[in-house]
A and B are shown apart, each in its own frame.
Chain A
Amino acid sequence: MKVTFPHMGHLWICLKAMLEYLGVDTVVPPPSTRRTLDLGSKHAPEFACMPLKLNLGNFMEASEMGADTILMAGGCGPCRFGYYAQVEYEILKDLGYNYRLVVMEPPEKRISELLSRIRQITGNRSWLEVIRGIKFGYRKARAVDELEMSAMRLRPREIIPGQTDAALSAALDEIAGAGRPEDLPEAVERAEEIMRGVAWENRPAIRVGLVGEIYTLLEPFANLDIERKLGRLGVEADRSIYLSEWVNDHLFMGLVRGIRSSRLYKKSAAPYLRHFVGGHGQETLGGAVYYKNLGYDGVIQVLPFTCMPEIVAQSILPGFSRETGTPVMTLIVDEQSGDAGLVTRLEAFVDLLAEKRRGKERLA
């Protein structure tokens, strides 16, 4: 059994750690590229959202590397992600791929439901080992997220352009390279050391909050590397969803204390969107309010074309923008997205934010 899974940002680092700790043979698909997306778009339904197309491409490329089992997450709607695995499986079947499919449906009541599904993959490992494996994966996720956060603070302030990104990729390698839980603390230490090596100066930066659909927020290939592009424009970005927070909210049912939770967003979304709409629609609005309250200069919503919950949020965000005076930009991505168009739009948006801030300072 060679297990593969779809890419979503740096998810592979923690999934690989968890599976390999449990002795599962793992195939990490090659990073998503144009080829991945082309493969996926060719065989996926036309109006399926971009993550499905990339998933499909990932599985096809992983199969070239010998993977024979797919590990996928499930869901119970109304976002169509809950049915991804089944549709992808049917497509692969018709294309002649011989995959076995294991779907991790989210626990409805008890965390034990998730554990029993994990055991389908891990076989006869003891519960304790399985829990240790999950914990190992989670700690890696948290470490990766903290590195990303520090990269987002550093980028607009770095002295040598590009140094942050070089450091981030070296630091991520350290985390990914830690093979055993006991190696992780040292790896984290080394990774932090690498990040501390970035030369920076204290300059004021425009602050932008990224909100929207989780996959397109976490996967740099899907969002055209928006965090880096913003960083290069001198913007300090933050995003409303990090992998470790999502895992804690949705898989651990909030077991880990002391980190940001989506419950916060649900509360702050109330004046604009009073009901959950599936996916991260409500969190998108809540995130926008959250960033406005933190004094951010603007908000960018990222979503895949045809994403239903985000379309609901998108049609409500202009009202939020009008009422609060917070500039909001919407970025919709799919297989037709182009890099140059995004750069132009981001430059215009950042100019607008800078001008607005200057206006405020003149008044003050």
Chain B
Amino acid sequence: MIAAAWICLLLPLAGALAITLAGNLLPKRIAGILATSSVAGAFAAAVVAFVLMLGDSPGQRSHVSTAFTWLSAGSFHAGFSILLDPLSMVMMMVVTGVGSLIVLYSIGYMHGDNEERRYFGYMALFVFSMLLLVQGGNLLLMLVGWGLVGLSSYLLIGFWHEKPSAVAAAKKAFVVNAIGDATFAVAVILLIQQTGRIDFGAFSAISLGNGGVVNIVALGLLGGAIAKSAQLPLHTWLPDAMEGPTPVSALIHAATMVTAGVYLIARTHSVFELAPHVQDLAAGIGAVTIIVAGLVALVQTDIKRVIAYSTMSQIGYMFVGVGVGAYASGMFHLMTHAFFKALLFMGAGIVIHALGGEQDIRKMGGLRRLMPKTYAMMLIASLALIGFPLTSGFFSKDAILAGALARGNYGAALWILGMIGALLTGIYTTRMFITVFHGDATETVTRHLAGGGSGAAHSAATAAHATDANATDDHAGHARAHHGEGPRTMLVPVAILAVLALIGGFIQVFDWWTGMETWLESVTPALHQPSGLQEAVSSIAGPLMGLLGVYLAWSTYGAKKDTAPRPWALLERKFYFDELYDRIAYGPAATLARLFTRVVEGPLVIGSGDALGQGTRALGERLRPLQNGLVRSYALLIAGSFAVMAIVFLAVR
């Protein structure tokens, strides 16, 4: 089992290294196959480990395997170790499973791109980093994985580096995440200082106590989680991260990386339980994010941004889950969300692909008949997102809400916000769905799809399309190659995910079949158990709100798009967060940087080189008159020094 876990961790790394080292010698197809097989192999290893773990009794399922001692300073040791227990098992399977599907999908999506090899190398690197984060046996190694996924995210968001907006988005993501990394690091340092250890067993009540230090540690961890999971206030990077290729958005910014924050809180739950106020804060932040993100999603016109804000909102649910102590529910929603959100993104990717790179939903419409398979799968995904009864989303979302109710009064407030969130989810999802798939085909759609396979009209259309501001050259090429719904490598993973989105929820059905909860009990026991009534209430009210939202959206957007109300500027500007951060963070930093360049770097750094040269020259000029060429002066100097030396010798003796 341990061997399987190590194989799972290292196989994607081997894939990434192989792709990188082979360089241009590797055909592009092979790069894609290599990446996919390495991640799929990791998934196979994870499944093997899972099956073997099932054989252990529940209390015996936690294994730590250390490869070598990485750091050793006095009594402090940190090993390069992996922790294999039910919680990391869940994450491993989700990451590698969904990951391999998405990498397979990318083979079709990224076909024809100039730098396909680099893309697959980065994807494999990302999977390795995420696995390191998830399997890390101590906080330090987890922090390493944390940083590496941030790096992979940066590399992949800015993949099309000729686009300045992509580069800027990558930088933004990295910088905002750096804030979280900093708080995370502070927490780790404090932990080392307090307990002298860093493995996950260090979080015991005895060593940490109940005082202020634990709160600071928990806050630090929470800060890291918020940044990585794009919760308020460190959420501004996620919508811009949609500049990356769609599979990247699916894998990193929906299914795995952004859920790392939830995993972190679940993993270090003992710390949070010692700092209950911070845990409440986590839940509160999650709840607020649900609402804010949901509101902003209502007015987005870019299909990927709608889904991005939806992701933000759903992660808010997960934060509520772990914030009230319903860890298993939070992880459950993490898993189901990975299914249907990746599915949503991939479906959107198929649409974008087919429309030659068009991402504005106002230019879409009537795709229901032209892309029936995609329509069906997006329908499934949307239903799961809304929490339609019996879909996976239904079970997981309502488990969280029930857990919130079980917490007490504060939880009830969270519950209400969650319900409002469900309403908003229904509205924006339906809005997007209707705008894209229903109604009449727009001019863009007919240009790309209705023309069929006729060469002349199609190439003329794509030529015209190349001048469209939204299209990238790669997509124009794709549309020419396979018009319609895409190759099988793109449709098969989508179909698999659709199935999972439908049936994945049956792992945990209320109180009747608690697969997920029992599985995770040995690691993260829930703090409160919801009563049957609370379960029932949540499970009825949740989908009701969702369906209400569907109805509202249908009546507004279904008939004619033009009757949609004009959204407030507040929503359109995403609550002015970007402007606020620009004012308080970027502005001062830029001013400070300019100041330093002028004052420090100019004179001190560059000037010191000049100054050294000029100073030496000046000194030489001063000393020059000594060389006056007069023999007498030289003789005088000799006589003078002789006199001085003689006196010194005499005095010393």
Bound pair (A, B): no
Chain B residues within CB distance 8 Å of chain A: none
